Amino acid sequence: MDPESMDTEYDVIVLGTGITECILSGLLSVDGKKVLHIDKQDHYGGESASVTLSQLYDKFKQNPISKEEREAKFGRDRDWNVDLIPKFLMANGELTNILVHTDVTRYVEFKQVSGSYVFKQGKIYKVPATEMEAISSSLMGVFEKRRMKKFLEWIGSYEEDDISTHQGLDLDRNTMDEVYTKFGLGNSTKEFIGHAMALWTNDDYLHQPARPSVERVLLYCQSFSRYGKSPYLYPLYGLGELPQGFARLSAIYGGTYMLDTPIEKVDYNEQGKFQGVQTKLGHFRAPLVIADPTYFPEKCKSTGQRVIRAICILDHPVASTNNADSLQIIIPQSQVDRKNDIYIAIVSDSHHVCAKGHYLAIISTIIETDKPHKELEPAFQLLNPIEERFMGIAELFEPKEDGSKDNVYLSRSYDSSSHFESMTDDVKDVYFRVTGHPLVLKTRQDGDN
Amino acid sequence: MNSSVTSIKLVLLGEAAVGKSSIVLRFVSNDFSENKEPTIGAAFLTQRVNIGEQTVKFEIWDTAGQERFASLAPMYYRNAQAALVVYDITKPQSFIKARHWVKELHEQASKGIVIALVGNKLDMIENGGERKVAKEEAEKLAEEEGLLFFETSAKSGENVNEVFLGIGEKIPIKKPGEQANEQSGLRITDDQRVDLTNSVNGPVRSAGCNC
C-alpha cells in the first residue's frame, strides 16, 4: 500500500518497540483501539531487543573485527540472538499470565532454565530443586534446614482472612527482619531467602514491612513448583521474540507497524497537548502517545541508578554447574563486600541464541564505584576463560510526570532485576494512566484452534 | 489409518490486495468474499490435507499487514517450512514485489523452505481483463529460483487446492516420533520445553518449594 493512501488518524501512537510498548500496543489493539506503532530503528525490540553478533560488534566495539575473522571464530551471524538486557520469566509471574491470556504463547516456545545458583564463600551452590537435593545440599546445616522448612510452611499456609495461620505476625506492621527472628533464622539463611528467593538486590527490605518480601518468596516457590528445575523460563531465539510476539498480536488486531522511521517532529496543540508526529512517511495524528524514554529525553529524569552489563561469550559451560545449558547465578552483595547483588544469566545454543558449542553469559549490577568494570571481577572469575566481552553502562530513566498534562505517556527504562515483574508493573501503570481503568486480562477469543 | 500428522508452518507473502488472504480462505473454508477486509483477530488458520498415507496440517501465517512498511519480524520466517509468494497477474508491480519476497526468503528463511510462486486473479482474464504478467516470465523466475509455480483464482477456486497439495508433496515427511506429540496438545519436544497454558502441574498455592 502506498504511504499516501494510508490512514493518518489513529487512537494511539506508540513509539519504540521494546517489550513494554509492544505489550501495551497489543492490549490496546485487542481493546479495539486503532494503533500506529513506530520505531526509529530497523528492527523490533528497542532496548529489549536480541541482536546478531555483527550488530553487537557495531554497537559495542569501536574497531569491529572483520567478517571473516568473526565467522571463523563464531560461525554464522544469523545463529546469534544476543539479548541486550538479561532477564528470565518467572514461571508463575505476571508476564507468563499476560502471554497465556493474550495467546502470544502461540508464537513463542519456552524452555525451563536448568538451575538457579547462589554464590557463597567463593563457590557456587545450586538452589535445591527437590527434597533430595535439599537434604544433600551443603548450603545450610541440619537444624537450619528445619527452621527454614517451618518458615516456608508458614508462607505456604498463610491465609489473609484466617488469623490462626498468621502465627502472630502482621505482614504490614512487622518487618521482614522480625519475621526472620520469629523463625530463628541465621544470617546466611536470611541472605539466601532475601537474595536468592525474594530476589532483592540489597538489604533495604529487612527493615521494611514483610508483605512484599513474603509475596516474592511465594512467587518464587510457586514458579519453582510449576515445572520443577528452577523458577525461570526462557524463550527460544532469545528475549527479542517477546516484543515481536506482542507486535504480531497488535498487528492481527489491526495495529499498523512502521520500523526504521525516525520521528522528525512532535506536534502539540495550543494547550500543549500531544496531537501527532511527523515522519518521512508523512504526518500522523492521535490524541495521545505512548513511548519509551529515548523518544522524549526532556520529559524523563534519572532514577539515580546506573547499571553495568557485560555480555560474555564462552566456549564452555560454567564450572561446577553439571554442564547446565542455562542458569542464573546470584552473587549476594555481602559475599563480595558490596551494597547490590551481581547477577549472571547464562543461556546457550540449546536456546538458539548462539552458534553450536557456545554459551552466552550476561553479568549485571548496579554501579557503586567509579571503576564499574572492576566491580564485575567476581563474576568474571566464575566464567573464565571468556572468548569475547561487550560492556555497556546504562543510566535508568523514569518519566517526570504521569502524562495527564500533555498526553505523553512514558514507560521506564528496564531495570537490573533478573525477571520481568517490574516491567509488567510498568505496563499496568502506563495502561492505567492511559485508559483510566486497571488492566483486566481477558482470554482471547478466536474461532480457530 | 494415518500413522501421524505433520505440521507445516506456511507463511504468506506478497503485495497488499493481491489476494493472499482470499487464497487461504478458499483453501481453508472453500469460501470467497468480494470485498474482503484485512483479517482481524486470527492468529493463524489451520487446514489438514491427506497426501497419500500422510495427514499434513498447514499452520498458515498471514502477514497481518506488517509487510507494508518493511516491518515483518524475523519471527514470521522462523521455522517456516513453506511460503506462498503471491502476485496479481494483472498488476506488474506486484510481480516485481514477488521477486523481492523470493530474495528475502532466501536470505531470512530456513534453507529447506519450499516456496510456491502464485499468480492470482486468473478469473479476471477469463472475464475479459488484461493479463499484464506473462506466464512465461513467471515460469522463468520459478525455474531459476527453484520454486513451485501456479496460476490460481481464489474467486473461482481454480488451482487453489493444487498449490497446497503441491507443497505438501514436496516437504519431506518426518517419521513418527520425530514430530512433537500432537494428541496431547502440548508443545513439548524435549524435557525442558514447557507449555505455559498447561496447568496440570500448577499453579499451586502452597509452599510447593522443596528447598
Domain of residue A420, CATH code:
3.50.50.60
In the block, residue with C-alpha cell 525461570: A232
For residue A238, the chain B residue with the least C-alpha distance is: B75
Domain of residue B20, CATH code:
3.40.50.300
Instruction: Indicate yes or no: CB of A446 within 8 angstroms of CB of B41.
Output: yes
Show which of A199, A226, A253 is a domain's final residue. A226
Q: Is the residue at A4 inside a domain? A: no
Instruction: Indicate yes or no: CB of B211 within 8 angstroms of CB of A197.
Output: yes
Distance of alpha carbon B99 from alpha carbon B102, whole angstroms: 5
User: Percent of chain A having pLDDT more than 90?
Assistant: 86
Q: Which long-range contacts (CB under 8 A, 24 or more apart) does A362-365 make?
A: A362/A83, A362/A86, A362/A309, A362/A310, A362/A311, A362/A312, A363/A309, A363/A310, A363/A312, A364/A86, A364/A307, A364/A308, A364/A309, A364/A310, A364/A416, A365/A201, A365/A307, A365/A308, A365/A338, A365/A340, A365/A341, A365/A416
A21-38 burial: b if 16+ Cβ within 10 Å, else e: bbbbbbbbbbeebbbbbb
In the block, residue with C-alpha cell 547490590: A340
Per-residue 3-state assignment (H helix, E strand, C coil) for A290-326: EECHHHCHHHEEEEEEEEEEEEEEECCCCCCCCCCCC
Residues whose CB falls within 8 Å of the CB of residue B179, separated by 6 or more in sequence, listed in order: B4, B5, B6, B7
Task: Report yes or no: B65 at the A interface, CB cutoff 8 Å.
Answer: yes
**Span A36-51, average pLDDT:** 96
* Strand ranges across the sheet with A388-399: A123-126, A115-120, A327-331, A342-348, A359-366, A300-314, A388-399
Instruction: Indicate yes or no: CB of A259 within 8 angstroms of CB of B71.
Output: yes
Name the minimum distance, in Å, from the CA of A131 to any CA of chain B: 5
Average per-residue pLDDT for chain A: 93
pLDDT at A375 over 50: yes
How confident is residue B187, by pLDDT bands cut at 50, 70 and 90?
Answer: very low
Q: Which domain holds residue B109?
A: 5-170
ipTM for the assembly: 0.81
- Chain A CB contacts of B192 under 8 Å are 111-112, 114, 229, 325, 350
- Chain A CB contacts of B186 under 8 Å are none
Q: Is the residue at B148 inside a domain? A: yes
**Span A304-329, average pLDDT:** 96
Distance of alpha carbon A31 from alpha carbon A33, whole angstroms: 6
Report pLDDT for B151. 97
Instruction: Indicate yes or no: CB of B69 within 8 angstroms of CB of A257.
Output: yes
pLDDT at A130 over 80: no
Report pLDDT for A443. 65
Total number of domains in chain A: 3
- Chain A CB contacts of B202 under 8 Å are 91-92, 222, 225-227
How confident is residue B204, by pLDDT bands cut at 50, 70 and 90?
Answer: very low
How confident is residue A447, by pLDDT bands cut at 50, 70 and 90?
Answer: very low
How confident is residue A385, by pLDDT bands cut at 50, 70 and 90?
Answer: very high
Show which of A226, A250, A267 is a domain's final residue. A226
Distance of alpha carbon A97 from alpha carbon A441, whole angstroms: 9
Distance of alpha carbon A67 from alpha carbon A69, whole angstroms: 6
pLDDT at B3 over 60: no
Instruction: Indicate yes or no: CB of B65 within 8 angstroms of CB of A446.
Output: no
Show which of A186, A202, A226 is a domain's final residue. A226
Report pLDDT for A208. 97
**Span B133-143, average pLDDT:** 97
**Span A18-43, average pLDDT:** 97
Report pLDDT for B35. 62
Instruction: Indicate yes or no: CB of A128 within 8 angstroms of CB of B69.
Output: no
Say if residue A136 is in the same domain as residue A106: no
Q: Is the residue at A118 inside a domain? A: no
Among the residue ranges A65-69, B147-151, B196-200, B202-206, the one predicted with the least confidence is B202-206
Report pLDDT for A144. 87
User: Percent of chain B having pLDDT more than 90?
Assistant: 43
Instruction: Indicate yes or no: CB of A257 within 8 angstroms of CB of B71.
Output: yes
**Chain B interface, best mutation among A220, A227, A326, by max B CB count within 10 A:** A227
Instruction: Indicate yes or no: CB of B70 within 8 angstroms of CB of A221.
Output: no
Residues whose CB falls within 8 Å of the CB of residue A236, separated by 6 or more in sequence, listed in order: A108, A109, A110, A111, A351, A352
Q: Is the residue at A119 inside a domain? A: no
Name the minimum distance, in Å, from the CA of A371 to any CA of chain B: 37
Total number of domains in chain B: 1
Say if residue A415 is in the same domain as residue A294: yes
Three cell numbers at A228? 520443577
Distance of alpha carbon A316 from alpha carbon A359, whole angstroms: 7
- Note the pLDDT tens digit of each residue in A91-117: 999 999 999 999 899 899 999 999 999
- Chain A CB contacts of B78 under 8 Å are 237
Q: Is the residue at A296 inside a domain? A: yes
- Note the pLDDT tens digit of each residue in B9-65: 999 999 888 999 889 989 988 777 766 555 555 667 888 888 888 888 999 998 888
For residue A247, the chain B residue with the least C-alpha distance is: B73
Q: Is the residue at B10 inside a domain? A: yes
How confident is residue A129, by pLDDT bands cut at 50, 70 and 90?
Answer: confident
**Span B121-136, average pLDDT:** 92
Distance of alpha carbon A355 from alpha carbon A76, whole angstroms: 7
Task: Report yes or no: A362 at the B interface, CB cutoff 8 Å.
Answer: no
Residues whose CB falls within 8 Å of the CB of residue A250, separated by 6 or more in sequence, listed in order: A22, A25, A26, A28, A29, A35, A37, A257
Q: Is the residue at B41 inside a domain? A: yes
How confident is residue A7, by pLDDT bands cut at 50, 70 and 90?
Answer: confident
pLDDT at B201 over 50: no
* Beta-carbon count within 10 A of A58 CB: 11
Report pLDDT for A254. 92
pLDDT at A433 over 50: yes
Say if residue A282 is in the same domain as residue A313: no
Say if residue A156 is in the same domain as residue A217: yes
Domain of residue A379, CATH code:
3.30.519.10
Q: Is the residue at B124 inside a domain? A: yes
Who wins on pLDDT, B202 or A326?
A326
Task: Report yes or no: A48 at the B interface, CB cutoff 8 Å.
Answer: no
How confident is residue B2, by pLDDT bands cut at 50, 70 and 90?
Answer: very low
Name the minimum distance, in Å, from the CA of A253 to any CA of chain B: 5
pLDDT at A178 over 60: yes
- Chain B CB contacts of A257 under 8 Å are 65-66, 68-69, 71
Instruction: Indicate yes or no: CB of A221 within 8 angstroms of CB of B207.
Output: yes
Name the minimum distance, in Å, from the CA of B210 to any CA of chain A: 5
pTM over 0.80: yes
Q: Which domain holds residue A163?
A: 130-226
pLDDT at B206 over 90: no
- Chain B CB contacts of A443 under 8 Å are none
**Chain A interface, best mutation among B29, B189, B192, by max A CB count within 10 A:** B192
